Structure 1
Amino acid sequence: MGGSQSTRKLSVDNDNAISVSQEALDRIQAQLNAKQAEQPPPQPQYTPPSYFESQKRQQENASEEAYWARRIENLKRAHEKINSGMHLEYQKTLKEANELFDLAKADKIAGKLPPCQEEKTKVLECYSTNPDKSLLCSVLVNEFNDCVCKSRVAAVSATS
């Protein structure tokens, strides 16, 4: 009930249709053409001469070129400032590093020999004379250990 579509078809015959002859169509077309010929063509809107447009475009291009040239110069100056700052920092760091190396080199020359060489020699002699009895050298090893500890404390206090 109302859910299905109707399959009926309706056709209308128009007995009152107007038929126009080809001659009538030609006359109507001729009249339309004559009216169009009588009408003046539409006035074009003002278009500036082409040389004006090219001058305007050249001015725009020149202003853009000037803008980008200023921008590039500003960037160059900014990069030069950064580079000069980095160069100064590099030179400063290089100078500090050279001073540190010079101090370390002078310290090695001043120290010449490692500390506790006498005690080390005694311990080595004791081990070589008593290869199977290393406990006999324990007193000398303790003396060497004390000497090393004292020299470490002295080195730390000297740098502070």
Structure 2
Amino acid sequence: MGGSQSTRKLSVDNENAIQVSQEALDRIQAQLNAKQAEQPAPPQYAPPPYYDKQKQHEFAAEEAYWARRIENLKRAHEKINSGMHLEYQKTLKEANELFDLVQADKVVNKLPPCQEERGKMLECYSSNPDKSLLCSVLVNEFNDCVCRSRIAAVSASS
């Protein structure tokens, strides 16, 4: 019910249809062509001769203006670039100097602290292998030096 399509067909005959002969079509087409031929073509606009010269002069003036403007902008851009390049070189030089100072400081700090006290203590132990208590004063000096260098390193880093 209602789910299938209808198979009925309906045809209508038009009894009022007009048939036009080929001759009538040709006559109508000829009349249309004649009317189009009678209509005048739109006039072609030709600007006066001074107009072209005036426009050319205006265009040339405008081209010259923009060429000057572009050259001025190029020069300003080159000045800015050269200034930036000089600043970059100056900053690079300062950074390298700071880096060299840090590297030199690291070289100085690479040597362990209290080398002199350590040398005296080791010399005392090697010269008195059986009497180590004789070197206690040098051991205390070495220990004090190590403590001072630790305190100096901690205070320098903070």
Q: TM-score, normalised by structure 2?
A: 0.56
> Is the counterpart of residue 20 in structure 1 residue 20 in structure 2?
yes
- 82, 85, 99: which one pairs with 1:83? 85
Residue ranges of structure 1 left out of the alignment (5+ in a row): 131-135
Matching residue of 1:35: 35
Task: Give the deviation of 1:60 after TM superposition.
Answer: 6.3
Superposition CA RMSD, Å: 4.5
2:128 aligns to what SS in structure 1?
helix
Q: TM-score, normalised by structure 1?
A: 0.56
Over residues 41-60 of structure 1, what are the superposed CA-to-partner deviations in whole Å (9 max), with x where a residue is unaligned?
Answer: 2345788999959x859946
The residue type paired with residue 24 of structure 2 is A
Matching residue of 1:8: 8
Residue ranges of structure 2 left out of the alignment (5+ in a row): none
Q: Which moved more, 1:17-26 or 1:30-39?
A: 17-26
Output the CA distance in 2 between the equivalents of 1:95 and 1:2: 95
1:32–1:71 distance in 2 versus 1, CA, 3 Å:
same
The residue type paired with residue 40 of structure 2 is P
Matching residue of 1:115: 116
Task: Give the deviation of 1:123 after TM superposition.
Answer: 1.0
How do 1:9-158 and structure 2 match up within 5 A?
9-43=9-43, 56=59, 59=62, 63=66, 69-94=71-96, 97=100, 101=104, 114-116=115-117, 117-127=119-129, 130=130, 136-140=131-135, 142-152=136-146, 153=148, 156=152
Task: Give the deviation of 1:124 after TM superposition.
Answer: 2.1
Task: Give the deviation of 1:78 after TM superposition.
Answer: 2.6
Over residues 64-100 of structure 1, what are the superposed CA-to-partner deviations in whole Å (9 max), with x where a residue is unaligned?
Answer: x6555554444433332222223223344555646x9
The residue type paired with residue 85 of structure 2 is N
The residue type paired with residue 141 of structure 2 is C
| Matched-pair contact (CA < 8 Å) for 1:120–1:144 | no
| Matched-pair contact (CA < 8 Å) for 1:126–1:137 | yes
Q: Name the count of aligned residue pairs.
A: 138
The residue type paired with residue 17 of structure 1 is A
